[in-house]
Amino acid sequence: MNRRVKAAPYLFLTPAIVLFTLFLALPVCYTFYLSMRRVKVSGLGLGKGSRQEIFVGLDNLAAAATDGELWAGWLRVLGYGALVLIVMLGLALLFALLLDSAHVRLARFSRIAIFLPYAVPGVAATLLWGFLYLPSLSPLRALLDVDFLGATTITFSMANVAVWGGVGFNMLVLYTTLRAIPRELYEAARIDGATETQIALRVKIPILVPAIILTTVFSVIATIQVFTEPTTLRPLTNTISSTWSPLMKVYRDAFVTGDLYSAAATSIVIAAVSLVLSFGFLRVVRGRAFGEES
């Protein structure tokens, strides 16, 4: 009987372990295997045996880590991410606080309206905004006289698409956290003479810190993996290169030039950078929180 009780948790975990192994662990291991190999071409590359797969160790990873195109893509994504994170999370926090206010009207309609863009698929949303950006079709061009697909504005245009689609999800996470806060805390603050703004700044936001950290980490990971917006807008303008973002470079190497081994190495580098940034952010935030508590 004791053995059955001890084995029960592992039995429930088995489906998750199998799925994790098949769809995450094995693909990662295979990608790492590909990153250590390369095709050696002899002669003109014609005939049997002219192309051989050879082991190169960490040479592909070293080349990917020092690739100028990749790091230029990282710089573009860094600027894009700064815009998206600040605006998107700022608006999500503002909307969550407003919807949780005691004096808000049409709260249910507002929640649906803010969340609805998130339900639109990323490709459809980007195409929608892409046609609004086109000079020959856009009513915004006549009003604002701005080339939304120009070299100096394309980053802002893509960030706008990401913000439009991402605010609703992050707002819902923060708003759900706010709804779990006991109402007695607000009543006590009002009895002490606190205004709604003071309650938001001194009661709600401090309680929201864990949820803000969570949404920030998810947003950082999503920003690093930006692919849909630049790829979908690329046919509409010549200001977006095939290596605008790191994942676009992986796609080009794998499916355009056919170099799966370089693409695999670049994927490993992107994954490593994502882990460093995500865990680095968590470490900094946790260190500051620990310092404040001490």
Each residue of 107-161: pLDDT tens digit? 888 889 999 999 999 999 999 999 899 888 878 877 888 889 999 999 999 999 9
- For residue 95, is it left (φ>0), alpha (ψ between -120 and 50) or beta? alpha
Q: How confident is the model at residue 48 (pLDDT cuts 50, 70, 90)?
A: low
**Alpha-carbon dihedral of residues 78, 80, 85, 90, nearest 10 degrees?**
140
For the residues 47-64, what does the mean pLDDT come to?
A: 82
Tokens of 208: 């929201």
Q: Are strands 51-55 and 37-41 parallel, antiparallel or unpaired?
A: antiparallel
Q: Is the pTM of this model over 0.75?
A: yes
pLDDT at 162 over 50: yes
Q: Which range has the worst mean pLDDT, 21-30, 95-104, 121-130?
A: 95-104
CATH of domain 60-293: 1.10.3720.10
List the domain boundaries for the chain.
60-293
For the residues 46-54, what does the mean pLDDT come to?
A: 69
Q: How far is CA 244 from the centre of its chain?
A: 16
Q: pLDDT tens for residues 277-293?
A: 888 887 877 765 555 54
Position 18 scores a pLDDT of: 93
Q: What is the mean pLDDT of the chain?
A: 87
DSSP string, 105-161: SSHHHHHHHHHHHHHS-HHHHHHHHHHHH-TTT-HHHHHH---TTSTTTHHHHHHHH
d(CA 25, CA 29) in angstroms, rounded, equals 6
In contact, 177 and 211? CB cutoff 8 Å:
yes
DSSP string, 161-218: HHHHHHHHHHHHHHHHHHHTS-HHHHHHHHHTT--HHHHIIIIIHHHHHHHHHHHHHH
Q: How confident is the model at residue 294 (pLDDT cuts 50, 70, 90)?
A: very low
31-40: b or e for each residue (b if 16 or more CB lie within 10 Å)? beebbbbbee
Query: 94-103 long-range CB contacts below 8 Å, 24 or more apart?
Result: 95/167, 95/171, 95/175, 96/171, 96/174, 96/175, 96/178, 96/208, 97/178, 97/200, 97/204, 97/205, 99/171, 99/175, 100/175, 100/178, 100/179, 100/204, 101/196, 101/200, 102/186, 102/196, 103/196
d(CA 120, CA 115) in angstroms, rounded, equals 10
Tokens of 229: 């917006």
Q: How confident is the model at residue 177 (pLDDT cuts 50, 70, 90)?
A: very high
d(CA 148, CA 168) in angstroms, rounded, equals 24
pLDDT at 173 over 70: yes
